């Protein structure tokens, strides 16, 4: 199920990216402990309790990055930050 969601989001991002002009600015929002499970659980809670949905679901383009460390499938903030900043995995 998770793979299908990721694939669908990726396809949607590419489709939107091809139809729009080059962006003037790109903002990178980095949420610590915000895996897809956390986001989906929060969204379900908000939907069940009739709160407004998460603002980030209204962004025109969204990307997802896997930031697990080089030495473990479970990462910490430092290894994830290294992967996001320089594109190379680090050991925990």
Please give the positions annotated as active site: 77
Residues 56 and 36: beta-carbon distance below 8 Å? no
Residues 62 and 56: beta-carbon distance below 8 Å? yes
Name the nearest CA neighbour of 86 among 78, 34, 74.
78
Is residue 21 packed enough to be buried (19+ CB in 10 Å), middle (13-18) or exposed (0-12)? Answer: exposed
The answer to the question of whether 32 is labelled as a binding residue is yes
As annotated, the binding site for Zn(2+) includes 32
* Annotated binding-site ranges: 32
- Binding-site residue positions for Mg(2+): 32
């Amino acid at each position: 199920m998770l793979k299908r969601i990721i694939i669908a989001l990726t396809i949607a991002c590419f489709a939107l990216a091809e139809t729009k002009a080059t962006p003037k600015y790109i903002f990178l929002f980095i949420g610590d402990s915000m895996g897809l499970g956390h986001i989906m659980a929060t969204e379900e809670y908000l939907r069940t309790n009739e709160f407004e949905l998460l603002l980030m679901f209204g962004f025109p383009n969204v990307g997802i990055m896997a930031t697990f460390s080089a030495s473990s499938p479970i990462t910490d903030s430092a290894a994830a930050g290294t992967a996001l900043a320089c594109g190379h995995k680090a050991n925990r």
